[in-house]
C-alpha cells in the first residue's frame, strides 16, 4: 500500500470470484488449441509484479489457422444468418458479460493495473453497452443506411492496445459481428486475459465455431494477421508508429483499414469557466487511468488571467490524489501498465526537465514493488517542447497559457495529432466557435472523457482514420453497393 499524505483505510476488492488458469491456449474455431510452436509468454500484475498466467504465443501458422476458421465460419454459417439471428447472439454475449461484470472488472485491474473503480464503473459497463448497442443494429442495417445496398466485408483482423483491453475488443468485435463479419482478434501482450475470458463467454453463448478467434502474442502476431492475404479488413487501435507500419503493409492490397492511433489532446480553460469544475475536469482528463488514454487532455491551455488560480488549485487537488493498489476502491491512480511504459514516462520526465520546464509532483510515497508514477504537471512549457508535442501516455500534464481565442486555436491545432479536445467556458457561443475550429475528432464541452456507444470516436491527422461507435462504426465493417 502507498503511504499517501492522507490515510484512508484500504477497501480492497475481492479477487475470490476470479478464475485465472495457469496457462491459456489460442481460441481458434471455437476450441482451445495449443500454439503450433508450443511457445508461451508470461503476463504479470503490474501492481505487484507477480506472475498471473502463461499465455500462448501465436506464430504466422497459428494465425493462418485462425483466419481459415474465420473464413469457413463466414462462408458456411455467419453470412447465412439473418440480422435478427446475429443480433440474438450479440444480446446473449452482452448479457453474459453483464452477469460476469465483477469478474471481468477484477481481471482487467489485475492484468492491466487500472483502478478497480474505473474497470468496474467505466470499462466493463461500456463494453457491455457496446454489445447491446450493436446487437440492436444487427437486423436494422437497412434503417441505418436507408436506400443503400450493403454486405459484410468477410474476415476482420482486429488488433487492440493495453489501455482499455475489453472495451477496445467490444468497439471492434460488436460492430463486426453485427454487420455479418467474422473476426480474428489479437489483444495486447500485457493484457490478454479479458479477451481470453471473452472467448469463454462466446463458447457459453453458443456462438458458432470460428466466428470469433483470439490469437494472443507479441507484435509479430499482429503483423502476421495484417499480412495475411485472406483477411478483408484490418481494424487497429494503438500507437501511430505501428499504425503507419500497418498502413504501409496494406498498400496495394484490397484490405480495408481503420486506424485509431495516438493523441496529444488540448484541454482549454477560458477565463469565464467554472474554475472548480474545470479543475476536476483537468484531473479526469489526464490522470484518469494513469493517463493511459489515447484522448487524454495531456496539453492544458489556460487563459492567462486565471492561470495562477487554476494552477494553484490543481496543485492543491493533486495532494489528495490517491496513488496505490488498483484493487483498492480508494485508488485514483493505479499502476502503470508495464515496466517498459513506466520507463518511457520517466524518460519524458527527464526530457521535460532538460527542456527547462518546471515540474510539480505531489508529496506521496509510491508502492513498491510495482510500476507506479506520481501525477506530474509541467509549467513553463514551450510550444515546441517535446513534452508538449509527443504522446507520453502517462499521468503527465503540460500547462501553457494564452490570451486570445485565435492564439489558443493556433496552439491547440499545432500538433501532429487530432483525436480529442476539451473546452471549458460558461459562454455557449465560444463553445461552438472553438469546437468548429479545433482539429479533433471529439470536442467535449465542460466535461471530458465521456463515451457512449452511440457516439462515433476517431481522429484527425496522425490520430488515424475511420470511426468506431455509432452508425459510423457500422460502416467500417460494410461494403456499400450503389
Ligand atoms: P502499440 O504498441 O501500437 O500496440 C497496439 C497493438 O498492436 C498491440 O496488440 C501490439 O502487440 C500490436 N502490434 C505491435 N506491433 C505490431 C505490428 N508491427 N503489426 C501489427 N500489430 C502490432 O500500442 P500500445 O502501446 O499497445 O497502445 C498505446 C497506443 O494506443 C497509444 O499511442 C494510444 O494513444 C493508442 N490508443 C489509441 C486509441 C484510439 O482510439 N485512437 C485508443 C487506445 C489507445 P503487443 O502488445 O504485443 O506489442
Ligand atoms: Mg498483465
Cα separations (Å) of 64 from 34, 157, 182, 194, 221? 14, 11, 14, 23, 11
Q: Report cis status (omega within 30 of 0) of the bond before 369.
A: yes
Question: Residue 423 in contact with residue 443, Cβ under 8 Å?
Answer: yes
Task: Give the CATH number for residue 106.
Answer: 3.40.605.10
Structural domain includes residue 14: no
Question: Residue 144 in contact with residue 136, Cβ under 8 Å?
Answer: no
Which residue's CA is minimally distant from atom 32 of ligand 1?
A: 239
Cα separations (Å) of 114 from 134, 315, 323, 421? 26, 23, 11, 23
pLDDT band per the 50, 70, 90 thresholds, residue 482: confident
Structural domain includes residue 368: yes
Question: Residue 467 in contact with residue 137, Cβ under 8 Å?
Answer: no
Which residue's CA is minimally distant from atom 9 of ligand 1?
A: 188
Q: Which atom of ligand 1 is nearest to the CA of 419?
A: 41
Task: Clarify whether residues 287 and 305 are in a common domain.
Answer: yes
Structural domain includes residue 7: no
Whether the CB of 237 sits within 6 Å of ligand 1: yes
Cα separations (Å) of 226 from 104, 138, 176, 196, 259? 28, 26, 17, 21, 12
Whether the CB of 189 sits within 6 Å of ligand 1: yes
The Cα 266–Cα 421 span in angstroms is 5
Which residue's CA is minimally distant from atom 47 of ligand 1?
A: 218
Structural domain includes residue 2: no
Which residue's CA is minimally distant from atom 13 of ligand 1?
A: 219
Question: Residue 170 in contact with residue 131, Cβ under 8 Å?
Answer: yes
Task: Clarify whether residues 120 and 251 are in a common domain.
Answer: yes
Whether the CB of 464 sits within 6 Å of ligand 1: yes
- Tell me how long the chain is: 482
Q: φ, ψ for residue 457 (rounded to 5)?
A: -135, 140
Cα separations (Å) of 324 from 52, 314, 331, 368, 394? 19, 20, 6, 10, 15
Cα separations (Å) of 327 from 7, 19, 293, 301, 413? 16, 16, 19, 33, 38
Task: Clarify whether residues 203 and 302 are in a common domain.
Answer: no
For residue 190, pLDDT beyond 60: yes
For residue 461, pLDDT beyond 60: yes
Could you tell which of 161, 192, 337 is best to mutate to test the pocket of ligand 1, judged by most ligand atoms within 8 Å of the CB?
161
Structural domain includes residue 3: no
For residue 232, pLDDT beyond 80: yes
Q: Which ligand is nearest to the CA of 196?
A: 2
Q: Tell me the catalytic residues.
A: 260, 294
Q: What's the whole-model pTM score?
A: 0.97
The Cα 443–Cα 432 span in angstroms is 10
Tracing cell 455479418 back to the chain, one arrives at: 180
Task: Clarify whether residues 42 and 144 are in a common domain.
Answer: yes
User: How far, in Å, is the centroid of ligand 1 from the Cα of 262?
Assistant: 9
β-strand 26-28 against 31-33: which pairing, if any?
Answer: antiparallel
C-alpha cell at 231: 483477411
Whether the CB of 55 sits within 6 Å of ligand 1: no
- Residue 458 has a CB neighbour count (10 Å cut-off) of 24
pLDDT band per the 50, 70, 90 thresholds, residue 17: confident
Which residue's CA is minimally distant from atom 14 of ligand 1?
A: 219
The Cα 441–Cα 446 span in angstroms is 17
Which residue's CA is minimally distant from atom 42 of ligand 1?
A: 294
Structural domain includes residue 406: yes
Tracing cell 498502413 back to the chain, one arrives at: 247
Structural domain includes residue 249: yes
Question: Residue 376 in contact with residue 399, Cβ under 8 Å?
Answer: no
Task: Clarify whether residues 50 and 80 are in a common domain.
Answer: yes
* DSSP codes joined into one string, 99-140: HTHHHHHHHHHHHH---HHHIIIIIHHHHHHHHHHHHHHTT-
Residue environment code for 31-50, b if the CB has 16+ CB neighbours within 10 A, otherwise e: ebbebeeeebeebbbbbbee
User: How far, in Å, is the centroid of ligand 2 from the Cα of 46?
Assistant: 6
For position 259, what pLDDT does the model report? 97
Whether the CB of 391 sits within 6 Å of ligand 1: yes
- Residue 276 has a CB neighbour count (10 Å cut-off) of 10
The Cα 106–Cα 14 span in angstroms is 8
For position 6, what pLDDT does the model report? 62
Whether the CB of 186 sits within 6 Å of ligand 1: yes
Task: Give the CATH number for residue 431.
Answer: 3.40.309.10
For residue 5, pLDDT beyond 70: no
Task: Clarify whether residues 310 and 400 are in a common domain.
Answer: yes
Task: Clarify whether residues 274 and 257 are in a common domain.
Answer: no
Task: Clarify whether residues 253 and 400 are in a common domain.
Answer: no
The Cα 203–Cα 242 span in angstroms is 31
User: How far, in Å, is the centroid of ligand 1 from the Cα of 218?
Assistant: 10
The Cα 89–Cα 97 span in angstroms is 12
Tell me the pLDDT tens digit for each residue of 80-103: 999 999 999 999 999 999 999 999
Task: Clarify whether residues 320 and 385 are in a common domain.
Answer: yes
Residue environment code for 196-220, b if the CB has 16+ CB neighbours within 10 A, otherwise e: bbbbebbeebebbbbbbbbbbbeee
Task: Clarify whether residues 227 and 277 are in a common domain.
Answer: no
For residue 192, pLDDT beyond 70: yes
Could you tell which of 219, 240, 299, 476 is best to mutate to test the pocket of ligand 1, judged by most ligand atoms within 8 Å of the CB?
219
* DSSP codes joined into one string, 168-199: HHHHHHHHHHHTT-EEEEE--TT--HHHHHHH
pLDDT band per the 50, 70, 90 thresholds, residue 3: very low
pLDDT band per the 50, 70, 90 thresholds, residue 234: very high
Structurally, the chain folds into a number of domains equal to 2
Domain containing residue 244: 23-261+463-480
Whether the CB of 377 sits within 6 Å of ligand 1: no
3-class SS of residue 50: strand
Task: Clarify whether residues 82 and 160 are in a common domain.
Answer: yes
Task: Clarify whether residues 340 and 434 are in a common domain.
Answer: yes
3-class SS of residue 201: helix
Structural domain includes residue 252: yes
Question: Residue 345 in contact with residue 393, Cβ under 8 Å?
Answer: yes
Whether the CB of 419 sits within 6 Å of ligand 1: yes
Question: Residue 4 in contact with residue 365, Cβ under 8 Å?
Answer: yes
Q: Which ligand is nearest to the CA of 250?
A: 1
Tell me the pLDDT tens digit for each residue of 309-358: 999 999 999 999 999 999 999 999 999 999 999 999 999 999 999 999 99
Amino acid at each position: 500500500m502507498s503511504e499517501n499524505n492522507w490515510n484512508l483505510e484500504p477497501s480492497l476488492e475481492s479477487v475470490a470470484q476470479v478464475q485465472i488458469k495457469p496457462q491459456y491456449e489460442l481460441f481458434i474455431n471455437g476450441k482451445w488449441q495449443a500454439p503450433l510452436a508450443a511457445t508461451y509468454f508470461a503476463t504479470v500484475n503490474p501492481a505487484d509484479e507477480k506472475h498471473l498466467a502463461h499465455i500462448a504465443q501465436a506464430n504466422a501458422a497459428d494465425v493462418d489457422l485462425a483466419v481459415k476458421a474465420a473464413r469457413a465460419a463466414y462462408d458456411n454459417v455467419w453470412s447465412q444468418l439473418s440480422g435478427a439471428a446475429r443480433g440474438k447472439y450479440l444480446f446473449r454475449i452482452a448479457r453474459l458479460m453483464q452477469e460476469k461484470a465483477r469478474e471481468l472488472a477484477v481481471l482487467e485491474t489485475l492484468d492491466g493495473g487500472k483502478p478497480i473503480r474505473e474497470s468496474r464503473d467505466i470499462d466493463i459497463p461500456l463494453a457491455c453497452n457496446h454489445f447491446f448497442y450493436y446487437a440492436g443494429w444487427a437486423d436494422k442495417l437497412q434503417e441505418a443506411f436507408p436506400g443503400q445496398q450493403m454486405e459484410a466485408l468477410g474476415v476482420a483482423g482486429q488488433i487492440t492496445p493495453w489501455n482499455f483491453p475489453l472495451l477496445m475488443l467490444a468497439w471492434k468485435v460488436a460492430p463486426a459481428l453485427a454487420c455479418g463479419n467474422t473476426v480474428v482478434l489479437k489483444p495486447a501482450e500485457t493484457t490478454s486475459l479479458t479477451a481470453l475470458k471473452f472467448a469463454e463467454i462466446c463458447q457459453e453463448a453458443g456462438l458458432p465455431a470460428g466466428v470469433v478467434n483470439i490469437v494472443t502474442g507479441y507484435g509479430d502476431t499482429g503483423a502476421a494477421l495484417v499480412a495475411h492475404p485472406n483477411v478483408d479488413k484490418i481494424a487497429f487501435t494503438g500507437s501511430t508508429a505501428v499504425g503507419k507500419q500497418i498502413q504501409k503493409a496494406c498498400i496495394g492490397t484490397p484490405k480495408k483499414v481503420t486506424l485509431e492511433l495516438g493523441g496529444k489532446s488540448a484541454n482549454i480553460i477560458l477565463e469565464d469557466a467554472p474554475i472548480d469544475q474545470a479543475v476536476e475536469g483537468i484531473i479526469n482528463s489526464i490522470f484518469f487511468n494513469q493517463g493511459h488514454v489515447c484522448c487524454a487532455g495531456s496539453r492544458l491551455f489556460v487563459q492567462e488571467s486565471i492561470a495562477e488560480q487554476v494552477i494553484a488549485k490543481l496543485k492543491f487537488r493533486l495532494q489528495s490524489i490517491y496513488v496505490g493498489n488498483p484493487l483498492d476502491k480508494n485508488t485514483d491512480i493505479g499502476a502503470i501498465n508495464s515496466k517498459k511504459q513506466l520507463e518511457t514516462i520517466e524518460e519524458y520526465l527527464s526530457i521535460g526537465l532538460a527542456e527547462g520546464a518546471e515540474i510539480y509532483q505531489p508529496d506521496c510515497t509510491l508502492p513498491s514493488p510495482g510500476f507506479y508514477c506520481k501525477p506530474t504537471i509541467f509549467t513553463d512549457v514551450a510550444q515546441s517542447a517535446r513534452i508538449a508535442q509527443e504522446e507520453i501516455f502517462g499521468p503527465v500534464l503540460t500547462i501553457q497559457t494564452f490570451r486570445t481565442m485565435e492564439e489558443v486555436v493556433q496552439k491547440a491545432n499545432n500538433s501532429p495529432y487530432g483525436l480529442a479536445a476539451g473546452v471549458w467556458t460558461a459562454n455557449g457561443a465560444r463553445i461552438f466557435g472553438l469546437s468548429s475550429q479545433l482539429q479533433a475528432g471529439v470536442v467535449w464541452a465542460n466535461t471530458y472523457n465521456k463515451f457512449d456507444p452511440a457516439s462515433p470516436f476517431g481522429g484527425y491527422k496522425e490520430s488515424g482514420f475511420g470511426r468506431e461507435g455509432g452508425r459510423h462504426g457500422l460502416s467500417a465493417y460494410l461494403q456499400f453497393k450503389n
